[in-house]
Structure 1
Amino acid sequence: MSKQVFNKTNVLIALQYLFARKKQSFLAAIGVLLGVTTFIVMINFMTGVNDFLDDAVFNGSPDIIVSAKSKKQSTTTSNLLSNYIENSNKIDDVLKVDDNVQSFARQIISPAILISTSKQFPGSINGVFPAQESNMVNLERRLIEGEGFRSLLKENSILLGVSLAKRLKVSVGDQIKMILPNGKNQELRVSGIFSFGITTIDNVRTYVSASTLQNLLDQKNSITNIHVKLKDRDDVRLKTYLTENIDGIATEDWKDSNKTIVIGNKVRDILTWSVSFALLLVAGFGIYNILNITVIQKRKDIAVLKTIGYSSNDIVFIFLIQSLIIGVLGAFLGVLFGYLISYLISTTPLDTSDFIIVDTYPINFKMSYYMLGFFFGILTTIFAGYFPSKKASKVDPVTIIRGI
């Protein structure tokens, strides 16, 4: 008998065993389906939350912040504000030649009081250079209404975070008054309202033209911060270089300023992957038990097959074919149900009480997660079928036949 015919015979025997125990085969496939479905839904949801937070916080914030070292402030009005960077041109020269710098932007930041017709709130004003800041932050896709940084080319314009705009009860086109520590004030027109999706940002973030703020503070050409965006965010060697080679500055990277979120992401990642793989392993043990019972029930058939010339490898192959069919079917349905459930979650309204501004649950539809769930589901069933079949293939057929 040729090897090709022999393999076909093994496949036919495997299919016969598979359909002879339809209930057990169905339960095994359901186990794979539930394991893969749960894995995909959890991975999609948890990584979706992480990606949302990363996009809201990190993409809207600099990777490195350069500021002046704290100095003892005098009582004169010119020094009531944050210290100004004295070596800004030298810093610019370093940033322009660093290969890892994607963009950088100067800012002048000042405390202020914002007053609308009905409300007033203390806050911080970010004076920015529109062309530079637009390379740092993609504000256009975060706009709720009005214009972005280009509106700051007009004097006396201000951009507000959506939460702050709600607190001030203003909308695009309204006027608000800005009062600075030196006593000067300025009427500003709200030219745009944006949302980064996190209230702790949208409740305080404002943008005005740097020239407007410099003129009011009598600090022409002065800046308090330089924000840097890196091509590789994890490579922050630039921070150390700036601190060691330029006097009078302090630096802070994104990990320093977002420690809580960084730690939270790591914890969520560990929990997500641990629980997800544990679910697949639990499903694998369930499949193992079902296939083990099937092998035990087929011991007599195994003895007969071995007496007519079937080898141990043939026996293992027959039961592996069953496992593979169950694994492929269960994993395919698991991927399908995982996608459908993830899609339903992504369309489910989410009420976060204004802490996080998001309409629906964030879901990450990455193809790699579906492929990982599919192949891991198949791999689990292969191992679950291999061990009991390997054990059964070593049984002496004479011993089994004597017991009949």
Structure 2
Amino acid sequence: MRVLLLAYGSRGDVEPMVGLAVSLRALGAEVQMCAPPDFAELLDGFGLPLVPLGQSVREMATRAVTGTTKPAPAVGLSERAAQMVAATYEQIATVAEGCDAVVATGLIPAAAAARAVAEKLGIPYVFVAYFPTYLPSPHHPPLVWPGRPLPPDVTDNRELWSLNTENMNALFGEAINTHRASIDLPPVDNVRDHIFTDRPWLAADPNLGPWLQPADLDVVQTGAWIRLDERPLPADLEAFLNAGTPPVYVGFGSMPIRDARDVAQAAIHAVRAQGRRALVSRGWADLALADEGDDCFVVGEVNQQALFGRVAAVVHHGGAGTTTTAALAGAPQVVVPQMADQPYWAARVAELGIGAAHDGPTLTFESLSAALKTALSPQTSAQAKRVAGTVRTDGATVAAKLLRDMVDNGERAPVSP
């Protein structure tokens, strides 16, 4: 079995696919990865050949967040969508030959190209989401698309999802159908349902991010796709951890943020105010230490699975992967959500009692101090340890076996709605 995995997005989109790739190879499958060029080193470490997609996601995100480029209007987004669909299809069509299935996530135009490839080859196509609220449901509203805010007077979720259909058709419909016509595929009248299909997969832990019923979609919740990380921690980090009480970890993963220097300084002061040491992760925000105090330490890329079990709390942006890793480690969390799925995970952390949801994306000394008091309380710590025992680690294996069964049963790409 040969499988094409496509993830056009940040590390939070790519990392779970690596977990699936490892599980697929354990079943004897051959895996081809398609992802932005930022992750070539990560994939090379697993011997996964990479087909690079587009330009650096880190550079694009940093320009957008720091304000070096203005947000593009809706017409600009449509034009870029057309370019992305065509370019992605061209990049993956050849390498997909001989594949038995395609699994895609990330940006909608790229996923549209992945589905088109699967249709042309007549092989199974699966779209995967990493958090429940990305998928249509009567239990939650849709995400807001740039330049197309949801009307404040509409509160019915089904009506909001109908508006979401209209927005996605307006933004991506012409681009996708123009490309489909160029490769002799029929047009689609509902972009979202075409990309997601009526049976998408949800790679989220059922306890941390449950799919609520009843719902219209036949969602397959596999559990989170976790890659076992066996790397040892660096010697200097081990020395810092062993030199005192467990520190508070502060990091925003693959999220650039504005005023990173001020944010790092405010975070360190807030951690110190709780009588704790600080462990700062550089990440895509390039966080750095505010001073040379021996109660602070800065790290780059490290094994979070090994680290989070040794910290007092984890302050982070609220990506699905970081939230799940901290929950699995039993570490209390403070989620400072910036965008996309992060408000959802912040709310879930608070609802489960395993941490605090920071009020908004802008971190200050006062706001983080208040959130840390909740996260560092004995009650939160005890609840985080209880919930840790409920987090599943077999999601990638479940998904790999499902994919194998689809191929063995001779399933083909679904018919376009």
TM range (shorter): under 0.3
Larger relative CO (CA 8 A, sep 6+): 1 or 2?
1
Q: Which has the larger Rg?
A: 1
Judging by fraction of residues, say which structure has more strand: 1
